[in-house]
Amino acid sequence: MRKQLTKLNKLLFLSLIIGFTACETQEDQIVLHEVKFDSFGGSSVETQFIIPGDTVTKPTDPTLEDSEFMGWFKNNEPYNFGEPVTEEFTLVADWKDIYSPIINPDATPYITEVLDFSPAPGQFINYVSIEESKELIIGDNYQFISLGTYGGSVTFKFDHSIMNGEGDDIAIYGNPFEDNSEPGIVMVCQDLNHNGIADDDEPWYELAGSEYYKDETTHNYSITYYKPGPDDDQHLIKYKEKYGDVENEGEMDFNPVKPFHEHPMFPNDYVEDEITFTGTLLKSNTWFEDMGEWKYYHNPAYDWGYADNRGYENEGILRGADLFDISNAVDADGNKVELIAIDFVKVYTATTEIAHWLGERSPEIVKAADLSLLPTTDE
């Protein structure tokens, strides 16, 4: 009898132990967090299952043809692999196109297409339409387009990529003459996806000229021009300018050019009643001599690095051309960038002054060329 009781006690004891163990196992069960990797077209990356509070193991970078891996992102922010995991989520790969120049064995030296012409107000605007104006600077031409006052721009391309060689790479022709420089800032862009368009996600780089790093040069300058009403003076253009914490309003008076240019100064082709331009603004170096009944205006050239600036100093096939080195490219923060080649070129007016009867200081662009394809002076 005593032996039977002892066996019964042992059975009860074992049952209690098993019961407690089962309860503890259920309470201590760990739920792992699933972390997926979306390589966005690249090579696959295995899913990880993470203990809450632990971190994701950074995987080997995926690969994608013609692309450079830029990192893993969570909710459009770079992911920190040192961050403890508290939930399930998916990391998405970010890629950057690897640029390859467009090689054309039958390449021609000059502009083959004008992608955009966005003039600012000016005395030579409205003589022909914007679309007609685009045709004027294609090829080995000797007509021109006028960009208008500050910010007015033209964007063009060639039938090939212009390589960054030794020394100058691009020639941009204008109609400058001594003491009458009308500087245009030059920007360049690469066709990363080879679609022939300067897409919004393809960055532009300024070719820094002699004034770029000077204290008196204004970066991130913005100006908005307002179209006069039908009953307003068409030669008075109201504007608002912004730079840093400064904001000014004023009027540009084109009336001194009215005897020569009676038409409206605001571009007719714009549907909008206002246009805004943003970029780098050069300090004016315009001055005048008071000749009594009239003033003689001087627009001296800047040292180097601007279109329609010092081209009068060149001779032969480069007469009227200012020359540009792709190696002078800088990003939006002023940092130098190394570009092996470029595909798009943009020129925009660099100053705001209006020299009375001379009108706005607007670059005139005649044509542009790949210097490497122009015949040398010895040919």
For 22-69, the DSSP string reads HHHHHHT---PEEEEEE-TTSS----EEE-TT--PPPPPPP--TTEEE
CATH code where residue 73 lies: 2.60.40.4270
Residues 262 and 132 in one domain: yes
Domain that holds residue 353: 113-373
- Does residue 22 lie within any of the structural domains? no
* Higher per-residue pLDDT: 291 or 128: 128
Q: Render pLDDT for 140-173 as a digit per residue (tens, 0 to 9).
A: 988 999 999 999 999 999 999 999 999 999 999 9
Residues 144 and 293 in one domain: yes
Q: Going by DSSP bridges, is the β-strand pair 89-97/33-38 parallel, antiparallel, or unpaired?
A: parallel
Please give the Cα distance from 172 to 154 (Å, whole number).
12
The token duo for 79 is 């992911």
- The residue from 97, 126, 149 where one domain ends is 97
Residues 129 and 90 in one domain: no
Task: Give me the count of residues in the chain.
Answer: 379
Kindly state the DSSP code that residue 282 receives in the 8-state scheme: P
Q: Render pLDDT for 101-123 as a digit per residue (tens, 0 to 9).
A: 999 999 999 999 999 999 999 99
CA-only gyration radius of the chain, Å: 32
Residues 78 and 137 in one domain: no
Please give the Cα distance from 130 to 137 (Å, whole number).
12
Residues 226 and 177 in one domain: yes
Which pLDDT band, with edges at 50, 70 and 90, does 21 fall under? very low
Please give the Cα distance from 131 to 138 (Å, whole number).
12
Residues 54 and 189 in one domain: no
- Does residue 328 lie within any of the structural domains? yes
Write down the pLDDT at residue 374: 96
Could you tell me the pTM of the whole model? 0.80
Please give the Cα distance from 312 to 171 (Å, whole number).
13
Taking alpha carbons only, the member of 236, 220, 225 closest to residue 119 is 225
Please give the Cα distance from 306 to 350 (Å, whole number).
9
Helices marked H in the chain = 2-27, 130-134
Residues 88 and 125 in one domain: no
Residues 234 and 363 in one domain: yes
- Does residue 106 lie within any of the structural domains? no
- Does residue 362 lie within any of the structural domains? yes
Please give the Cα distance from 332 to 306 (Å, whole number).
18
pLDDT surpassing 60 at residue 26: no
Please give the Cα distance from 200 to 228 (Å, whole number).
31
Please give the Cα distance from 79 to 72 (Å, whole number).
6
Give strand ranges (E) for 190-338: 204-207, 218-226, 236-243, 246-253, 274-281, 287-290, 295-298, 321-324, 329-330
**Inter-residue contact 45 to 59 (CB < 8 Å):** yes
**Inter-residue contact 111 to 156 (CB < 8 Å):** yes
Which pLDDT band, with edges at 50, 70 and 90, does 298 fall under? confident
Question: Total domain count for the chain?
Answer: 2
